[in-house]
Each structure stands twice: as C-alpha cells, then as structure tokens.
Structure 1
Amino acid sequence: MKTGKILLACIMLTGASHAMADNVKTTERGVEIYVADASPAAAGMVRLSVITDNIVRVEAVPGDSLPAPRASLMVVPQEPCGRFDCTERGDSIHLTTRTLLVSVSKATGALVFRDRASGRVLLRETANGGKSFTKYVSPQTTLPPNYRPSAPGEVNWGRREHLNRLTEADRTGYSWHALFDSPADEAFYGLGQHQSEEMNYKGRNEELFQYNTKVSVPFVMSTRGYGLLWDSYSYGRWGNPDDYLQLGRAFKLRDKDGQAGALTGTYTDKRGRTLTRREDSIYFEHSGVIGNLPKGFNLDGSSVIYEGTIEAPTTANYHFILYYAGYVKVYLDDSLAVAERWRTAWNPNSYKFTARLTKGRPVTLRIEWKPDGGTSYCGLRAASPLTDEQQGRLSIWSEMSPSMDYYFIAGSSMDSIISGYRRLTGRAQVMPKWALGFWQSRERYKTQDEVLSTLAEFRRRRIPIDNIVQDWNYWEDDQWGSHRFDPKRYPDPQLMLDSVHAMHGRFMISVWPKFYCNTDNYRQLDSNGWIYRRAVADSIRDWVGPGYVGSFYDAYSAGARRLFWKQMDDNLYSRYAKGIDAWWMDASEPNVRDCTPIGYRKALCGPTALGTSDEYFNAYSIVNADAIYNGQRSAAPDRRVFLLTRSGFAGLQRYSTATWSGDIGTRWEDMRAQMTAGINFSMSGIPFWGMDQGGFCVEKRYVAAQKLFDKTGTENADLAEWRELQARWNQFGCFIPLYRAHGQWPLREAWNIAPEGHPAYESITFYHRLRYRLMPYLYSMAGWVWLKDYTMMRGLAMDFADDPAVRNIADQWMFGPALMACPVSRYKARSREVYLPRQCGWYDLYTGRHTAGGQKLTADAPYGRIPVFVREGAIVPFGPAIQWSDERQADTICLYVYAGADGEFMLYEDEGTNYNYEKGLYSTIRIAYDDSSRRLTIGPRQGSFDGMLRRRSFRIVYVTAGKPVPMNPDTREGRMAEYSGSEVTIDL
C-alpha cells in the first residue's frame, strides 16, 4: 500500500504528497476521511485540522460533505502553526504532530488521541457509537418583516444575517452525540457554573443551558492531560444524553395506600384545609405545567407531602434532579436523601442526587414541600439508568449544530490546556487594578443620595473600598431600556459621578438588554427588526408596578449591537463625560421571562439574525459583551473596559468580562454551591468570577429578624445566624477573583450587617483590609492572566494533579500559587476538616505554624477567621495599608518567604487603568527562593511604564518549620532590602 505524507509548518508545505486510499484526502491543515459504508446515523465524513502541535480540530457529519464554513462565535481566527505527518497504516490514518498521534479508522471514523512521546492513550472514542447524529429541524422560520441586515461590507458574526427569512437549510442541523471511553480514575472539571455542589463531573449529568444562576460553557478538562472545547451554541447535555424522565415513566409508582400508578399528594393550607389527590408525576417546574397544581388552592404558607413507593425496572444507580422553590426535603426509605433546601418562589433552583435502587424492590419516597409564595415550583425526575461503565464515559450531546465540531487540546498541565483554550477563544485582558478591590452593592440604591452617603460612610469608617454599584430601576418605572436616570431620584447624575470620583471611588451601573415598548430605544431597535417580538406578541408583562410589556434586543445582529452601544453612549457614557467606570450586564442569558419551559424560552429569544435560537441558544452573553467592549474601546480607546455579566460563554475573557453567579439564595448550602461553581467556572478557562457575597434572595425569617432588631435592638436566633452567615461569606469572598457584596434587604454594608465591635463586623472589616494588603499579589495574578494565561481560582487538581485525594475536594482551592483557602460553610462551626496535599508542607497563614502535607486535620475556625494555608516555597508580597487600590504605590513590600521548597514569584505592575500594557509598557520583577542555600534573589526589573517606582524597599520575613512567624504586614521584623531595578540577593 502506498503512503501519503504531507508536512505543514505554519501553513507552508514542506513535503511531498503521495497517493492514499480513495476515501482519504490530505489537506493543507490535515486530512479528510470518507467513512466506508457509514450508517445514516453515523459519521460519513471526518476532517482533522492541525491548529498547533497540541491542538487538533475534529469536524464530522453524516453524509460526505461538511457545511459551508461559518464564523465562530467562540473561536477566534486561527493561523495554524504545527508541523504534522499524515500516514496510512492498514485500516487507520495516523496524523502525527510533535506531541500528538491521532488515529482514525477508515472503516468507522473512530478516533484515538495519544501522547506521541509515550504512546499513552489520552482519549479514545467508544467502539460502535463514538459519533452519532439525528437530523434536527427547528420550527422557527421568520425574522421580523422589517429586519434590516448589516451594512454592506460590515464584518459580522456569521453567514445568515443577510436573510429576511430562515430557509429550511437554515433551520436544519443535527443533534449529535460524542462518546468516549474513560478510565475509572479520570476526573473532569469545567462546564461553566452550576449549582449542585458538584466538583468532579466524572459520572455526573449536567444540562447545558443558560439561566439565572446557571452558566454553561462547552469546555471540559481532564486529569489525563487534555481538554475538549466543542463549538456549539445550542442546548446540550453532559453525561446521560437523554432527558430526565417523569417519575411515572421511570418507575412503577404506588400511592401511600398501595394503589398502582401514582403517588399520594396531600396539600394542607395555612388554615388547616386539606386536599388529597393522586399524582402520576411531580413535575410542577415551569409556567407551562404549574397550572396542574390544585386549582383555587393557596400554596403560600401551605404544607405539601408527596408519598408512596417507587419500584425500579433495573438495578442501577439512579440520577435524580430536584427542582424547587420554597422549602423541600426528600426521603428514600425514611432516610434523608436531600436535606432541607430553600429558594425564593420566583427563582427556583435545581439540585441533583443519586440513589442505588434494586430491580423489583419498592422504595418509600416522601417529598416534604413548603411553598414560600403564591406561585411556587416543585419537581422530581430521574434519568434513564445507565450501567456504571456507561455513566462513567465522557459523553457530550448537542441539540442542534450544522456539524459535530470540537477541539482536542493536549497539555502537560491544566494551565497549558487552558492556555490552548485561550489561544482558540482569545487572550484574556488585564482587568483594571481597581476591579480587584472591594465592590459594594445592594438591591438597590434608590437615590443619588444613597449612593453617595454609602460611599462616604465607607471612607469615614476607613473600610477599604473601590467600587459602588447602581443596580436596576434607576430609571422611571415605565422607562426600562431608556438608560435614563429618573430626575426625581437622581437630580444630577454628573454631580453624583464626580462626587464618587472625588471620594476615590469607581461607579458601575446596571444595563439590561431589555426595553419597554414605549421607550425611544425600543422603537429605534424595533424599526430595524432588532427586537425579539414574541414577548410583545404574547403581551408578557413583567413584575414592575402594574406590569409592562417589552422584550430584548437581538445581540446576534452586528447592526443591533452597534445601535445598542450608541444608545448606552448617548444616554450614559458620553452623556456624563465618560464617568461610568464599569458595566453590569444583567439578565444576559437572555432571560426574557423567568420559569418558562425551554421550548418557549427559545421562542421568546429568536429567531436570531444568525439563525434559529435552537442553534444559537447559549451564546447571547458573548455577542452582548462584544457590543459593550468594542463600543467603549471605540469611544475611549485607552480606558480599560470592565463588564460584569450574569451569563457567560467560551471566549468571554477576550472582552474584559467577568461573570457572577446570579441571584443565588442566602443559605449555607448556597454558599457551598458557589465554591464548586466558582472553581469549575475558572477551570472553564474564564479567569474572572464572583458572586453576591451573602446571597441575593433572602429567607423571610432573616427579614423578620432584621426588622425586629431595627425596632427593639434585639438580636434573636435568626439574626445571629444571619450575621454569622454574612461574616463567613465575606471571609470566603476575600479569596476569589472579584470581591463583591450584593443582595436584597437586609442591607449588606458591614455596619448594616452588624454594629462596630460585633464579631461579624470585625471579621468583615478584617478581610476587607487583608484583601487590600494583598493587592501586589492580586494584581500580579491579573497580569499573569494576560501574560501567561493564568487562572487565579484554582481547583486543587490544577496544582496537585498526581494526588488522587484532591480530585473531589469541593470546598478548598488555591487562590494563586501560594494561598489555599478553606472557607467555613456550616452554622456555628468553629473548626473544619482540611486536607493538605501531599506534595509539600503547609503553613498556617495567621500563625506561621507548619504542618506536613498528605494528611487530613481538623483546623481551627473561630467566628472571625477561616483556615488559610500557605504552601512551602511560597513568596507572598503584602503592600501598604490603603483605602482604595491606587491610594499609594507599594513603595515598601513586606515579602513573606516560606521555607521547605524552592519557589518564585513574578511581581507585575503597570499603569492600572489604560491599555499601554498592550504596547509593552509594564514591568516584571522575578523573585526566586532557593531552599537549599536559603537564598532569595530579587531579579532585575524587566520593562517600564510611566509613573513606575524606580526605587522601593522589600522587607523580607522568613518563615520556617522550626520558626513560625505570624502574618503581620506591618511587622518591623525581617531583613530590609533596598531595590532600584538591579538584582539583589539576600541570604536568609
């Protein structure tokens, strides 16, 4: 057999091409395989394209031709730069780069990815079914009749924007399923931000769509040295590709009296009136089915019990999903399967759990539900069972795409995999320095005076802060989308902004992509066909006042994005002398209406200018971010953009955009869920993430407790818990990329949580000050994000991959290279179990005491502190005490050096607010510690920028296992070193 061979180096052919089998075609970038005798549901054609030595793109379709190329919303244009060989060996085609060997079966199209040097299999498609396809036709057919396409010659996102009507071809795609083998010890991270307290996604199921508190990113990383990024914007599933089943379809049901076919539902209202009926499912999850609850029955304050037995059709681990608003518990065979959870009525949540059930054995099921509002939601469904081997595979299902299209990214570490991800999806920006300081927000400051008096109180109390936030409804009630301040409550917005800046603060404002029909901005967008019209046609009213009709703009249209920014610029940015420092892009899922079934949600936000919302369901946040990022850079080219968005998607980092976790609840379990949510979001390649510290939606008992205190000064049990919860959440928040408090009433400023002298107040203000002392550490990490694709909030598997004990740890993480945060998330806990990874020893941050790694211990956690450990070899720079991020430069840095291993730190500095760093105007100082010689070297400064400190002092504090030193950035102990840019060496 003849061998085909082609070499590529940065798109230059460097070898000759030889004949191959008739069903194989080499290309400039790789190879195409036309699968012999493929079934209609299998891949008929597979294309491999080499991007770099460690990144290969895989495209597949049934049939023999890929769709016409389209501009990707997530992947930026690539200039391939990887040398490869393409050879034919028996039944397989082998694509070889410097680091990878990819094999493709000519008969089936099955893929195997190997490390070239060792031959080790990184990822292998499952035999007989690794790629499968089903034709999908979207029901969405027309754009608004007045839709105006982009201007001729305008660069836009895709192939469809010129269409006024979506043809059948535009509505047709494939549901595809990719399935790979996975060994038992593999772990997976990423997928965005989800709320079920799940750290490792091995063997888990996750639905991939965008919603308030839920962010789906089509990227996953493995402990076996690779990541997968799939270029699909549709609804998808990780794990089991099938939808969850209603209980009556998943099991044989019997009610509490033993009658087959249903459970018993008992409804008791707050007056004691009881109603009993049979329930063939518990599926009261959205507006489409909520009407199936008992008619005329007031659920608010009632008690509901669903009970009976479920009998499994086969012995397996069953994966359940619980959907709830109000209070809920679930029991299986009288054992608590789900401890009490709560969520406010208008914003339900999902939680997943697993139970082992035996074929033919009835299991008692009892759901105790206490609705907490007039409209409330409850549902329990189960996934069709898979074997443990099937459930453990790597499985990706996408509802609608033109083709299967994914990128395999190999890496020697998770950092190198994320670097590959950012090569594909865009380089992250350096955030403004002030963005790393503290943000104060509430739902909501209602007047100009509230904004200014709050910031002034921070300054009076000397509590460090950088940013004050104006949440929604600063406009007149019936003018949502006008982007105009209500003149009665904000009589002089320019004065307000100038006053914020005079107090050395920054100002962020909430802007939604939502418009009431009576606003001028709505009419401008609608006149071009750039408004989603279904909500208007259905007369959907929101929750403000009497309820107003409006809808969201189509951010998939380049023209609409340009007009959206112009409206923001005309009414807010340039109107007020560019005094707005940051943008809060709320509801960017887009959330046209809460609690609707997914099919109707797609109808409400489509069709888009690029195609149906079946295909473009998950990517709204990134095109919306494009509008603001590029808009502001056109208006103020040298001023750093900062966006905070409630949704996110692959590539968001290139638009200087961070994400927060939405309108989460104020419960201890909600706090725990943010830990896994934030870690996995960060491990999805998007570096800046935050949350509403303290939670957003508040239980009524906390509201009542605060009102009692305001009236009588009495701290009852609920208020005591509220204050401890807020303290613990602020402790947690100090060690994530964005440090921001926000939520509904009670108010979230430290002095409104508890009076000065109270342990909650003292703890919150301690961590405010610690955050600012860590500013050189924080801002250096922000620089590394840009310089070397760094990740600030790091699951332990990123740094300790060869320690299997860390893979499922959900409540500890590395915050940068030195600090391991271990928050406390249970009421009245004064200690907690901590695992210290085995690769090194560890120091207590506060006391300097040393403990060997590779063990669990019970760490002290008094009310005012959480355990924080520092790894051996760490170098931690502390700056001066400051009240805002740029109050003074770090002319003296207190440098703590922790013995026991070699270590290094690179201090990054620039001008903090502009884009001169893109022109090379920044400096770095490499600081290295050699443990064997006990020598610290502060290397020569590289680079410069305007205003840079030419001279500074380092106070070196040396901490060893035999000589613990408490953390004290104001210490007078330690060795002083004067530094003027040349190398300095200190023997410790």
Structure 2
Amino acid sequence: MKVSKTLQQVIAGEGYLDIQTDAALYRIYVMNHDVIRVRCTFEEQFGEEASYILATTAWADQLDGIVPDRRRITALAPDYTDHGTHVLLATERLNVVIHKAPFAIEIQDKEGRVLHADVKERSYVKDDHGRLYHYACMLDDDYFYGFGEKSGQLNKKKRRMRMHNVDTIGYDAELADPLYKHIPFYIKMNGGSQAATGIFYHNAYDSVFDMGCERSGYWTPYSYFCADGGELDYFFIYGPEIKHVVSRYTDLTGKTILPTRYSIGYMGSTMFYTELEHNSDQAILGFMDKCREEDIPCDGFFMSSGYTTGQDGKRYVFNWNYDRFPDPKQFIGDLMEKGAALVPNIKPGMLLTHPHYQEFAASGAYIKDETGDQPEKDRYWGGPASFVDFTNPKGRELWKKHLKASFIELGVTSIWNDNNEYEINNANAQCDFEGKGEAISALRPIMPNLMAQMAKEAIGEVEPNTRPYIVNRAGFAGIQRYAQTWAGDNNTSWKSLKFNIPTILGLGLSGVANQGCDIGGFFGPAPEPELFVRWVQNGIFQPRFSIHSCNTDNTVTEPWMYPSYTRYIRDAIQLRYTLVPYFYSLLYEASVEGSPVMRPLVYEFQQDDKVWEESFDFMLGRSLLVANVIEEGATTRKVYLPRGSEWIDWYSKKRYSGGQTIEVEVDLGSIPMFIRSGAIIPMTPQLKNIHQETVKKLHLLVEASEHGSFELYEDDGVTNNYKNGEYLKTTIQLQAGKQTKLSFTREGSHTSTVEQMVVDVVCKTIAPVQIQLDGRKLPMFLSQQEWGNAEAGWYYDMESKTARMKYEPLASDYEVIVQFEVKDLISI
C-alpha cells in the first residue's frame, strides 16, 4: 500500500504547481478563482492528457480534435507562498492549504471557513490491488447531493454507492444500486456555513462513494471515493450557492444541448406495438389517430426494438422487419404528416448471428479480447454479442454509415440509444482508444457518450441544419452535451412513482437537466387507474415526458386504457402543452447556465433548513412549486412552503406566507401547484401539436408583489439557425411597487410568431387604477365579456385578484406600467 505522508518538493510549472511526496506526484491547476484541479498519480510520471469528457481545459489534450466545441482557457498562475508547516496557494476566493507533514490538502474560503479537508495520514492511498482512495473529513451537518442517477432520498449522507453502468430492469427505485449512469460528481452543503462545494472525479473506472457508512474510531468521521484504476484526478468547485456549483461543473463537462422544441411534447411509446406479427406501422399510426380522437396532444413516438426482429426472432440493429413495417420511408412520412417524429431504438451490441456482424469484425470495429486479436464476446439481450468500439475511428465511421442508410436518409433525425451500458465482464478487453489501446475498464461509461455523439454527427452530416434529438439510457459525466436521458426500465409501483422524483432531481444537480422516467412504469403489470393518473400528473413536469411500457400481463399502457379516467390524463397532458413556452425557456437556460429544469427545493432555498432533505416536492424552474400527490388513496396533501417567498395557489390564487406547512384537500384531478412571489411564467393556450402549430397567443402569468425577471426564449425550434443569431431572447424585468413596471428587452433576429399578448398580474392587496402600454393608457373594461371582445385593454378579476390585460406585441422594446395608487372616490 502507498500513502502520501510527507511533502518533499514544490515546483512551479507553467500554469500549474507540481508537488512531490514520498508516495505520489500531484499537479494543481487553478482553473479560475473558484475551481481547482488536483491530479494525483502513484506512478513515476503523469499519464498523457486524453479526455473524451472535458468541455473546458487549460492544457493541450490528445483528443482535442475529437471532442467537439472544447474550450481552452488559460489557468491562473499559481500564487503560492511557503509558510514552513504548509504551502499556501491563494486565489481571490479560495485558500488552498497544502500541509507538509502529514501531507493533506485543505481548502478554505477567504474568511477561513474550511470547505474541504483531506483526512491526514490517509488522504491519498493506493492499495495492494491497485485501487485508489481519496478520504475527506465529514461533519455531522454535511449534506450530499448529486452522484448522477441514484435511487433513494435526495440527500445521500450515510449511503455507499457504486459507480457502474448496469441494465437494471425492474429496479427498486428506493434501494437499487447501481443504475444506468455513472457520474462521479457530488455537491456538499454544510448546514452550519450553508456553503456549497462540489467535487468531480475525472475518472471513468468503476468506483465507489462512501458518504459516512464506514466509521472507524481511529479516524475523524470521513467520506471516501475509491476507483479501480487510473488517477485520482478531481476538480474542486466552490459555490457558495448550489446553483453556482452546478453552473461551474457544467462549464467543465458541458451544458445541456438545446433540444428540438417538439421534444417537449408527449412522446408516445410501448413495446407492445412493435411485437405484433404484422402491421406494426398501422398500430403506431392508429395510436396517433386515437390521440387526436381523444384530444390528447402528441408529438413523437419512441419505437421499440421489435421493428428490428429477424426471422429467428432475434433483434438486429439497423434491420427493418418488413412484415411489421413494409415501407419504412412511407411510414416515417405518414407519421410526420400526423404531427409526430419517429424515434427508433438502436443498440450497440451486435449478436454473433447479426447480418452485419462480419462487416464490423473485418473492419476491427468491435472491442477486442485481451489479446487484441479477436472481438470480445459477452452476454447480451438475445445471446452472445460483440460491442462496437466508439473509441475506434473505424467503429465510429461504420456506425454512422449504417445510421444514415437505415434511418437518417429515410427522414429520421431523432435517435434512441438503448441497452448501451457496455456490461462487458472481461475488464481486460481492449479498446482502440484512438490507436493507443486501453482496457474497457478505463472507458466503459464513456462509450454511451460517444454513441450519442456519433448520432449527433451522423444527423449533422446528412441534415446539417436540422437540430438532432438524441435520447440515451446510459452515460457518463457530460452526457448532457449530446442527449436527453431517462431513468431506465423502472418498476410499475407507487414506490417508483415516488422515488423516481429524487432520482431525476439528483441527475439535474449532476448537470443532466433534460431527463425523465418511463411514465406509468416500464416493467410489471399494468398500472392500476389511480397510480396511472398520479404518474401522468407527475410526468408532465419532467423534461422527457413519455408513457412507455413492457407490461408483464399482456396489456399495453396507453393514455385511454381506463376510459372513465381518461379525462384526468387529458387534462394533465394539456396542462403540459400550456407550459411549452416555459419549458422551452428553461431548457434554453440549461443550455447556457447548466440549470436544472426540475429543481430540488434546496437549489432555490438553500438558506431554509426545512428543505435540505426534501426529496419529493420540487420547483419547475424558479417560479413554480409542484407538490404532486404520490400516495395511494390520498385525500389531503401536506406541503411545506419555503421561507423567503410568498406562495399563491395555482388554481384559487389564495396567498400563503412562506416558512409554513399547509394541508390542502385533493381529489383524483388535483395537481397541487404554487406560484412563487415575483414569478413570471409564459404559457400558451390550446396548443395541440408542436410540429404543426405555432405559438400565436402568449400568456404571461406574473406575480407582482416583489421584483423578478425571466428570459423568454424563442426560435424556430428545429434548425440550427439560432447559432447564427436567429433567435429571440426577451428579458422580462419586473419592478414591483405602487407603480409596478414590466420591461421587455429583446435580443436576436428571430421574428416571433406571437400575435397577441395576454398578461395576468396577480395582485396582492388592491386592484390597479390604471395600466399603460409604452406610455399610452390601455382601456379598462368592467366585464370579462367586454374585455374578451376587445382587441386590447384590461379588466380586474375580483375572484382571483388578477388584473388581466391583452394587446398586440410591440415590435421593439417596451414597458407596461401597472399603477396601484388608491383612487380617492369620496374627495372627488
């Protein structure tokens, strides 16, 4: 065993600081004043920089030409001084204290509060089996969030979690570990200081996080990270707010790709249709017709792998079953005419009986056995298979060739990457690694990221101005740069409905803003009616909204499966479509800032200790608190409303002060939602299809009791023209007061489709006396009917205490002023 115990030498390099200890070498980069990189190797020298993952670097990397849009920055010069017992490396915001004996790294803020401290005498360890350990001190009031896709409660303190991609069909959403994704990143928030920090381990080997499960009386309480190989290479990220940590982490690993707008819509799916003996295409087209008949919006269909079945019943990627789909191109066109994109399922494992197996083998496109001579073969769905090596240029090009021929040239620009966990049991199987060679154990979770990158590239090569829509089941840190994700093959149960919520929230805190789960449950019997209704009511707030199933009782989960309950399903999905402008703006925010769409309450209310362990209620963006009914048979729902804001019931407009728990009555149609004071929520009424309709009426819901702001984002939703400035970003600034002002400031060249603005201002105490639009008075109406018949004007709804105005949007920047002075009628 090797343990760094004594610092021996400090050498300043160009943009970094090298440290030699009695057991290991360390290299420290000051990325900026908030982000510190620490590399540790127990070898004689550092390995070459070769990362598929990092979106931002401060050094030359051998894979710079392969990683798209990588940004190179200049690291800050290491400003350090020797203080005898320790070396101090300072930034404007942090002090990095490097203790000499025993060796350990401690990071403080400028007030001297300890943000991170290694456990002295066992800070960095390599054991006799080659495993690497990093031990950190842990306090009783530390809270831990993130870790990618994990089961259970939001706070992961007292959890031991394994990082490893696994196909965990029917998993227990509270207890199962690991799941499909491997994201070695977490956020620590200390309850005493209320400061948040993050650590990202830039290491793709299988690993374990122990967040206080292990305890020894000989050591201070600790957490640790253990990796099976590689380097102890980590980035320390300072907040102090959680949102700052997430933003800076996504600076390193990439922001969420701006999706197509139609991906916000309901995406139909089931394995059932593609397993029919004949005419699966007609079943899917019939599904779209039934959606129209039931007045249920739908914008796409995830097509399960039954369409690839060969004569032997096995699934062969890139193979169309012509009994089920006689004319794929015609089918794809017919589906689009009905307003839905086709999203076909593809898998990277190729069975030994696959028609293209020898073509890939002859090109050397598979991951090979430990000799490097033959394709590695392992268990897969349907039998033994070999796996495409996406670290091999030949594998990438051959894969893209077949993607184009089988789908993209037929009109498909959406790809669903499934079963891509790369469960190869031989840890010594060899990957090409750009000609350098490397074991699969070092690269396993990176393969699904590269698979998503290839789908994006292939679509771009055939349709360069079409925005790709990629969906991935597995992934590593940075998967958000390429794909939307979902939490795999969940079990049909009330437990899954409940605990999939913190799974999604944890993913959002781990940089993956665009995600969801299979609504209604994937594996198990059909959901009973109440569970199905509650799941849909929750699912409409997930960025990926798809009802998808492989029911074990010969049934299919469809929106209308229980006719007497369909109205609840319809109402929920139509609410989702009402919120499309809000969702799209939040996804734009994710693409710029890295912000989650679904946010745990602690993300927005870090100073409120009542929300530090809240796992099930969440914020949709900044402005909307959602407290779904997730308990069977519930007739009431308790909701804690965070302090620091006032809260307004979405439906009744009843006002509540923050910092209290309320209890509301619920029935089967209830979706408890609360508007945050200062909220600005853009909506659109009666939208039924995102492909075929444009937003002509924009409805802004504004709570005007405190200042607020929102960036409304618009573009054409399908092309890459936004990269050339063809977008419209409208910054809406709310200045509260007796003269409440709404300022609309625009940026970009896109022409909005909005023809009418409707602005609802929720009033706290009194009605407005006057409303002005860009300096001119809007006419006031005393009745809703008169207002409804007018082109422009406003009226006051007494029941909801809401001032409703409408007008034709102006072509330039403008202001709306709502005057709340009390009009003295008696003195007149």
CA distance in 1, matches of 2:523, 2:581: 34
How big is the shift at 1:933?
3.2
Amino acid at match of 2:182: S
Alignment partner, residue 418 of structure 2? 586
Alignment partner, residue 114 of structure 2? 121
| 1:717-756 correspondence runs (5 A) | 722-745=528-551, 746-751=555-560, 753-755=561-563
Change (3 A) 1:122 1:511: same
| 1:895-974 correspondence runs (5 A) | 895-945=700-750, 947-949=751-753, 952-962=755-765, 972=788, 974=804
CA distance in 2, matches of 1:391, 1:99: 27
CA distance in 1, matches of 2:518, 2:423: 19
Change (3 A) 1:842 1:65: same
Tell me which of 529, 543, 546 is aligned to 2:364: 529
| 1:478-489 correspondence runs (5 A) | 478=312, 480-489=315-324
Say yes or no: does 1:220 pair with 2:186.
Answer: yes
Amino acid at match of 1:733: G
Alignment partner, residue 822 of structure 2? none
Tell me which of 393, 398, 403 is aligned to 2:222: 393
| 1:534-573 correspondence runs (5 A) | 548-573=383-408
How big is the shift at 1:692?
0.5
How big is the shift at 1:542?
5.9
Alignment partner, residue 572 of structure 2? 767
| 1:338-737 correspondence runs (5 A) | 386=215, 393-401=222-230, 403-446=231-274, 447-477=280-310, 478=312, 480-532=315-367, 548-574=383-409, 576=410, 579-591=411-423, 600=425, 602=427, 609=433, 610-655=437-482, 657-699=483-525, 702=526, 722-737=528-543
How big is the shift at 1:540?
6.5
CA distance in 1, matches of 2:15, 2:666: 56
How big is the shift at 1:499?
0.7
CA distance in 1, matches of 2:76, 2:610: 38
Tell me which of 133, 140, 154 is aligned to 1:199: 154
Change (3 A) 1:842 1:659: same
State the secondary structure of the residue aligned to 2:156: coil
Change (3 A) 1:894 1:572: closer
Over the aligned positions, Cα root-mean-square deviation in angstroms equals: 2.7
Deviates more, 1:56-65 or 1:605-614: 605-614
Answer yes or no: is the 8 Å Cα contact 1:442–1:748 preserved in 2.
yes
Post-superposition Cα deviations, 1:469-489, rounded to whole Å, max 9, x if no partner, equal 211120233463341211111
Aligned length: 736
State the secondary structure of the residue aligned to 2:685: coil
| 1:7-406 correspondence runs (5 A) | 23-35=9-21, 38=22, 43-62=23-42, 65-78=45-58, 79-84=72-77, 85-116=79-110, 118-134=111-127, 136=129, 174-195=130-151, 197-213=152-168, 214=179, 215-223=181-189, 224-239=195-210, 386=215, 393-401=222-230, 403-406=231-234
Change (3 A) 1:839 1:515: same
Answer yes or no: is the 8 Å Cα contact 2:413–2:459 preserved in 1.
no
Alignment partner, residue 807 of structure 1? 612
Alignment partner, residue 986 of structure 1? 817
State the secondary structure of the residue aligned to 1:939: strand
Change (3 A) 1:856 1:772: same
How big is the shift at 1:102?
1.1
State the secondary structure of the residue aligned to 2:135: strand
Post-superposition Cα deviations, 1:342-381, rounded to whole Å, max 9, x if no partner, equal xxxxxxxxxxxxxxxxxxxxxxxxxxxxxxxxxxxxxxxx
State the secondary structure of the residue aligned to 1:184: coil
How big is the shift at 1:984?
1.8
Change (3 A) 1:893 1:240: closer
* Unaligned ranges ≥5, structure 1: 1-20, 137-173, 242-318, 320-384, 593-599, 703-720
Task: Report the TM-score, using the length of structure 2 for normalisation.
Answer: 0.84
Change (3 A) 1:549 1:741: same
Answer yes or no: is the 8 Å Cα contact 1:175–1:398 preserved in 2.
yes
* Unaligned ranges ≥5, structure 2: 1-6, 59-71, 169-178, 190-194, 275-279, 769-783, 789-794, 796-803, 820-828
Between the aligned residues of both structures, percent identity stands at 24
Post-superposition Cα deviations, 1:869-918, rounded to whole Å, max 9, x if no partner, equal 11111111111311112443333222111233211111111111111222
Change (3 A) 1:540 1:105: closer
Post-superposition Cα deviations, 1:155-191, rounded to whole Å, max 9, x if no partner, equal xxxxxxxxxxxxxxxxxxx421111112222211111
Alignment partner, residue 591 of structure 2? 786
CA distance in 2, matches of 1:516, 1:675: 35
Answer yes or no: is the 8 Å Cα contact 1:779–1:908 preserved in 2.
yes
How big is the shift at 1:602?
4.2
Amino acid at match of 2:745: P
How big is the shift at 1:848?
1.2
Alignment partner, residue 824 of structure 2? none
Amino acid at match of 2:155: N
Amino acid at match of 2:361: D
Post-superposition Cα deviations, 1:617-662, rounded to whole Å, max 9, x if no partner, equal 332211221221222222222111111111121111222x011111
Post-superposition Cα deviations, 1:536-576, rounded to whole Å, max 9, x if no partner, equal 999867665xxx443322223232122111111122221x1
Amino acid at match of 2:468: V
CA distance in 1, matches of 2:182, 2:51: 21
Amino acid at match of 2:40: A
Alignment partner, residue 775 of structure 2? none
CA distance in 2, matches of 1:563, 1:135: 41
CA distance in 2, matches of 1:28, 1:607: 33
Answer yes or no: is the 8 Å Cα contact 1:929–1:937 preserved in 2.
yes
Alignment partner, residue 292 of structure 1? none
Amino acid at match of 2:256: A
Answer yes or no: is the 8 Å Cα contact 2:29–2:75 preserved in 1.
no
Answer yes or no: is the 8 Å Cα contact 2:103–2:121 preserved in 1.
no
Amino acid at match of 1:466: D
State the secondary structure of the residue aligned to 1:187: strand
Change (3 A) 1:840 1:539: closer
CA distance in 1, matches of 2:368, 2:518: 32
Answer yes or no: is the 8 Å Cα contact 1:562–1:631 preserved in 2.
no
CA distance in 2, matches of 1:821, 1:52: 36
CA distance in 2, matches of 1:832, 1:801: 23
Amino acid at match of 2:118: E
Post-superposition Cα deviations, 1:800-844, rounded to whole Å, max 9, x if no partner, equal 111111111111111111111112222111222211111111111
Change (3 A) 1:434 1:539: closer
Answer yes or no: is the 8 Å Cα contact 1:50–1:80 preserved in 2.
no
CA distance in 1, matches of 2:38, 2:767: 53
Change (3 A) 1:633 1:29: same
State the secondary structure of the residue aligned to 2:208: strand
How big is the shift at 1:782?
1.4
State the secondary structure of the residue aligned to 2:127: strand
Answer yes or no: is the 8 Å Cα contact 2:16–2:30 preserved in 1.
yes
CA distance in 2, matches of 1:100, 1:749: 54
